[in-house]
Structure 1
């Protein structure tokens, strides 16, 4: 009997939804370390992923044909090996549009209204009205990596009265973006932004993309937000841009090294807002991933191409 192995906790109702679509598949659910040895290798479909399963999943006796990962990013997956074994790989792209957009604007509003300073002062019972209070209205948001998250971010930015500039590989227009550039025109786009928002995945092309030259291309007093991947940013170059005053501040959810070491200088910078890689977290996460998986599972059972989120191994996303 073919089987599906889920490496995340599922409710009884969620398990039943899977069984309703694939009644002839055995469903096994549990954390990887709690499953009997060899369970993943004997799966036809794996829902979820852990690096601990890599050796077993890639073994000669593995029969895995499809892996649905729980995240949007697949940069930590053994992509070359999975491609060689002709394993379909799908991600959770689309799950994050609402929470990450809201996190982005939490950063922007905290910065413009000095909420990050107010929170620090509150912890000291300190009444301090000093500081510069800015507005989003009339400012330009440059969104680098316009996919589902970027388009949603642009839509919300327009509601705040902002001008929106986008950057995407194809340069294809988006109804929520006033001006769209290609990646080759990145420096031109950066020069227009009061707020630079990075949502790019990590690939060979995006690693170290934001170096000293890129920060120099940004406006004086720009605010930089990174919701993509930490290694896309040269951290030392970012710190230098912040220290010099060229950048007014930064909102960071991802870092080159995670967890961010306690002695790291970013922690002590008043113009930096830090969250611990939680931008995509939401109480609705599992149900949204499952919606993607169930739609793909219907197609898979019927021998059709998977309609959602199939990873292009050549592009790595």
Structure 2
């Protein structure tokens, strides 16, 4: 009798391997970033952890044996969702893994722009001793969190430690701890004029694509800072560049871009009111532990009992 197969397309420590094997001792488990480990087994895979583009051709044929994909990322916009849905493959994401590291990056960017840390780093490189007009504080300001999921919730919690007012925008409009006022996306333009910081933590869907364009930047305060750690395509990048160049907004902290890596010709690189990180806000020493122990193993336990994995199950109609 052929063994059921589980493929993990990432390198993981042996201790996680052993925890998984205790749950599926009769399965064949293939683990590794190197495709040579599992490429000859794709047609037989029942469960895959992680995803690579080349898997689509082999795993989503008619009568596929694939039943469940656990992604390695919170975002699922890069997956072939229509094909997975048509083949009735369950998808669960790594949503929640990033709450701590990304919220830390959000505040690093907010603090950096507010207290001119980026300016002082430039000054240090040229051995320039200059005040550079430092005057702003974050305390008692208003932050608008656009997308109050796991990352947004942690960001709101930290904002309260700074004595900030927190305004949230989420699809459901449901109230949340540490958020003073909650709105639905329909009220986005009405919310923006009150915000000193606008933080985008949304997933990329057909509804959020270019949600921020010229109209939204015009609604923001000239003194406001824009932070995007969601997805680059949520923002009309030329409109953002123009808003920064004309002073419609004060500055931006950006971890994601419409095209990655960011083109060397992009004017964003040279702007003194912009801080750039290379889509690394979710990087953390605890990433694998959180994906495997907090999400995958509990989901696997449910799956082995004949139940659907419950943690972070993707709703195909919403795209996340």
Q: The TM-score by the shorter chain falls in which range? A: over 0.9
The CA distance in 2 between the partners of 1:50 and 1:131, in whole Å, is 47
Calculate the TM-score normalised by the size of structure 1. Answer: 0.98
Deviation at 1:132, TM superposition (A): 2.8
**Structure 1 runs, 4 residues or longer, greater than 4 Å off:** none
Confirm whether residue 118 of structure 1 aligns to residue 120 of structure 2: yes
Alignment match, 2:96? 94
**Equivalent residues of 1:41, 1:61 under 8 A apart:** no
Q: Shift of residue 31 of structure 1?
A: 2.3
User: Which residue of structure 1 lines up, in the alignment, with residue 312 of structure 2?
Assistant: 309
Shift of 1:61: 5.7
Give the superposition deviation at 1:32: 5.0
Correspondences of 1:41-120 after superposition (within 5 Å):
41-60=43-62, 62-120=64-122
Equivalent residue for 1:149? Answer: 151
Instruction: Describe the SS at the equivalent of 2:40.
Output: coil
Question: Of 238, 241, 250, which aligns to 2:243?
Answer: 241
Cα distance in 2 for partners of 1:44, 1:239 equals 45
* Unaligned residue ranges in structure 2 (runs of 5+): none
Q: How does 1:1-317 map to 2 (within 5 A)?
A: 1-35=3-37, 37-60=39-62, 62-291=64-293, 292-317=295-320
- Distance in 1 separating the partners of 2:133 and 2:59: 54
- The 1-side partners of 2:39 and 2:243 are apart by 50
Distance 2:247 2:14 in 1: 54
> Equivalent residue of 2:240, what SS?
helix
* 1:141-186 C-alpha deviation (Å, 9 max, x unpaired): 0000001110110000000110000000110000110000111111
Task: State the distance in 1 between where 2:49 and 2:209 align.
Answer: 28
Q: Deviations over 1:93-119 (max 9, x none)?
A: 000000000000000111111100111
> Is the Cα contact below 8 Å between 1:114 and 1:133 reproduced in 2?
no
Residue 62 of structure 1 and its aligned partner are, at CA, apart by 3.2
| Worse-superposed segment, 182-191 or 149-158 | 182-191
Q: Matched residues in 2 for 1:298 and 1:28: separation?
A: 18
- Report the Cα distance in structure 1 between the residues aligned to 2:177 and 2:134, rounded to whole angstroms: 33
Decide whether the 8 Å contact of 2:9 with 2:35 is kept in 1.
no
Instruction: Name the TM-score, length of structure 2 as normaliser.
Output: 0.97
SS in 1 for 2:69: strand
Q: RMSD over aligned Cα, in angstroms?
A: 1.1
Gapped regions of structure 1 (runs ≥ 5): none
- 1:66-102 superposed Cα distances (whole Å, 9 cap, x missing partner): 0101000010110000000000001000000000000
Count of aligned pairs: 317
Aligned equivalents of 1:267, 1:147: Cα separation in 2: 30
